[in-house]
Structure 1
Amino acid sequence: MRVNRRTLLAGLASLGLAGCGGSRDRLFGTDTHPADYPTVRAFRHFGDLIAERTQGRLRLTLFPGGQLGAERDTLEITSFGGLDLNRVNLAPLNSIESLTIVPSLPFLFESEAHMRRALDGEPGRRVLASLEPHGLIGLAFYDSGARSFYNARRPIRTPDDLRGMKIRVQNSDLYVAMIRSLGADATPMDLGEVYQGLVQGVVDGAENNWPSYESGRHFEVAPYYSLTNHVMAPEVLLMSKVRWDRLSPADREVVMESARDSVPYMRGLWDARVASAREALLAAGVRANLVDPAPFRARMRPVWESFVTTPAQRELVAAIVAMGEGSA
């Protein structure tokens, strides 16, 4: 039976507001990814840990697959307490908290290990803490993979290979600026429209991680996959501050520890998903090529200057860069 989104959201909001004077044992969460996606499975694991550690007193009801709407919509509902928990990408947070822009910067992270080290450390804690004034408690970061370019024309080995191409991007000013700095034409487009856009020539290519490249069947019409690994922006697991404030100190500790403990579980699922997608795609004839990131990174200076504009952002960038392999 299909969920009536408006009725369900109204019901959840009334539950949240009705609970302001006391406690309830049910936590409601949402994730736009499908039920078998690593973030959703990790979200459920997080809920299982909470239930186990509270002897079943706190339990999670999760709505995956975008049942409650797009991330921007559910994020607003979470901030005023209509939803307890949410898993979102960094992009919809960029407009409300400038520090969340930093982990999304192109070519910020030298490797996946660098990204995880920074997000697990003080830089990551700083970003999560910055969300509290906006009605959100940042619990943990989940992986969203390394994004690379794919297209229907040719391998991308240097920025000049992108010149003149129409590249689909998320509806993000940062991503648009990145594509333009590389000499290509940025075309914002919903993910569900990309396959048809590639077929019809509306776009020549796009950029995403191995699992999304596979699951969207984009490789069928854009077989050149160039490993630029240009963005490694994470996902974020959030809790409504309204709901957080109603938890006891002991329950807050359980929620925070359970969130942290779900991260290695999620990363194991993610790494396996990436490996299986890569193997399947190469077997299907995808032509993948390695890329020297240096010429691409050199083009990012004006992009960084445009989006890193506050002292707090600059300090965060410096802290993350200092944790890279080249600084060890």
Structure 2
Amino acid sequence: MKKSYKLTVSALSLVLVAGSLLAGCGKKENTAAPQGGTAADAKKPTYTFRLAETHPPDYPTTLGDKKFAELVKERSGGRIKIDVFPSAQLGEEKAVIEQVQLGAIEFTRVSTGSMAGFNKDYGVFSLPYIFDNEAHMWKFLQGAEGEKLLDSLQASKMKGLSYFEPGARSFYTKKPVTKLEDLKGMKIRVIQNQVNVDIMKALNVNATPMAYGEVFSSLQTGVIDGAENNYPSYYSSKHYEVAKNYLLDQHQRVPEVLLASKATWDKLSDEDKKIVKQAALDSVQYQRDEWKKYEQDSEAKVKAAGAVITQVADIKPWQEAVKPVIDKYRPEYKAVLDAIDAAKK
């Protein structure tokens, strides 16, 4: 009897879990036009989707998410509603990506660095110093090769919609650092992919992959000596409180990407796909503008809080140190790297 009871409870649990996973992606037929919609909209399906975001509500990527959701709702006449869940309410990036693949979460914004484990082509963005500056990066992302990379995600059960501004990643540490040699032997948190581990090895740093949400406590307790990220993340995460030395080497520009679950995407009509895709593209400039404002504000605030900011005077030794990493991955990413180089012109 006990064994039978346990089997019944387990079966019931599976049903409840399956129901909860599908709850966010259900659709219903309208019997009346949505608010702001037309009579024609009343005959079209309505949706309520979720968008998972790691960063806080006022962070530029979150603001970009909200602009995207706002445009989708407006252009669908209120039929398609996307609720944004910031601050990792639905999980950290790796776990969320897995849920997006399953269709349990419909949309997310993640770093392309986190995507490398799900689509190997995205590992190219983690390579160091491949973009000269912001303008160079956006020329590539908004070109044919950048769009091709978005489309390639369908093989990984996702639909790439657009890119968001990532800023430039630099090192911050508990101990003072002013040059490359000062990082030797330090335990530095990196995004969980092999390219970042290889970069740290080339710089004589001990790479420590871990989830973003674990970094503050790990810095605080000495599990790691430092991490690397952009100004806004350095500020919003409050990492500057426990790692006051920020060395501006700008070794990576790792784009953010706005994603939809392919399972969700395939349910949409062609009309709705166009609405969602265009809304994603049209939210980009807004997000980029918000990024610039937030970046400037973040820099001012971490300085006011006592963070020591050091600009790398000569970047050539850094570039030379990581050249073997680019050489190692060049055969794998040759076509993309060639396109990135061509975008310099």
TM-score, normalization by structure 1? 0.87
Instruction: Find out whether 1:262 has 2:283 as its counterpart.
Output: yes
Which segments of structure 1 move beyond 6 Å, counting only runs of 4 or more?
6-9
User: Which one has more relative contact order, counting CA pairs under 8 Å at least 6 apart?
Assistant: 1
Amino acid of the structure 2 residue aligned with 1:40 = T
Name the SS of the counterpart of 1:285 in structure 2. Answer: coil
Residue from 164, 176, 179 that aligns with 1:142: 164
CA 1:8–1:111 in structure 2 vs 1: closer, same or farther (change >3 Å)?
A: farther
* CA apart distance, 1:261: 0.4
* CA apart distance, 1:16: 3.6
CA 1:161–1:134 in structure 2 vs 1: closer, same or farther (change >3 Å)?
A: same
Q: 1:33-83: per-residue Cα shift (whole Å, max 9, x none)?
A: 222222122111111111111211222122222222222222222223222
Matched-pair contact (CA < 8 Å) for 1:15–1:82: yes
* CA apart distance, 1:169: 1.9
* CA apart distance, 1:230: 0.6
Amino acid of the structure 1 residue aligned with 2:287 = M
Cα distance between partner residues in 2 of 1:293 and 1:14:
50
Instruction: Find out whether 1:318 has 2:335 as its counterpart.
Output: no
Cα distance between partner residues in 1 of 2:152 and 2:267:
20
* CA apart distance, 1:184: 1.8
Counterparts of residues 150-299 of structure 1 (less than 5 Å): 150-157=172-179, 159-291=180-312, 292-299=314-321
Residue from 301, 309, 315 that aligns with 2:323: 301
CA 1:277–1:51 in structure 2 vs 1: closer, same or farther (change >3 Å)?
A: same
Cα distance between partner residues in 1 of 2:173 and 2:81:
44
CA 1:168–1:244 in structure 2 vs 1: closer, same or farther (change >3 Å)?
A: closer
Cα distance between partner residues in 2 of 1:84 and 1:249:
17
Residue from 43, 55, 58 that aligns with 2:80: 58
* CA apart distance, 1:122: 2.0
Matched-pair contact (CA < 8 Å) for 1:105–1:231: yes
Name the SS of the counterpart of 1:32 in structure 2. Answer: coil
| Total equivalences in the alignment | 315
Gaps of 5+ in 1: 1-5
Corresponding position of 2:69 = 47
CA 1:207–1:55 in structure 2 vs 1: closer, same or farther (change >3 Å)?
A: same
CA 1:194–1:317 in structure 2 vs 1: closer, same or farther (change >3 Å)?
A: same
Name the SS of the counterpart of 1:131 in structure 2. Answer: helix
Name the SS of the counterpart of 1:299 in structure 2. Answer: helix
Cα distance between partner residues in 2 of 1:197 and 1:247:
43
Quote the RMSD (CA, aligned, Å). 2.4
Residue from 13, 17, 21 that aligns with 2:22: 13
Cα distance between partner residues in 1 of 2:239 and 2:199:
21
CA 1:18–1:215 in structure 2 vs 1: closer, same or farther (change >3 Å)?
A: closer
Name the SS of the counterpart of 1:29 in structure 2. Answer: strand
* CA apart distance, 1:8: 8.3
Cα distance between partner residues in 2 of 1:209 and 1:224:
13
* CA apart distance, 1:182: 0.6
Identity %: 37
Counterparts of residues 28-47 of structure 1 (less than 5 Å): 28-47=50-69
TM-score, normalization by structure 2? 0.83
* CA apart distance, 1:23: 4.2
CA 1:212–1:92 in structure 2 vs 1: closer, same or farther (change >3 Å)?
A: closer
- The structure with the largest alpha-carbon Rg is 2
Corresponding position of 1:92 = 114
Matched-pair contact (CA < 8 Å) for 2:25–2:47: no
CA 1:221–1:78 in structure 2 vs 1: closer, same or farther (change >3 Å)?
A: closer
Cα distance between partner residues in 2 of 1:148 and 1:102:
18
Cα distance between partner residues in 1 of 2:18 and 2:236:
29
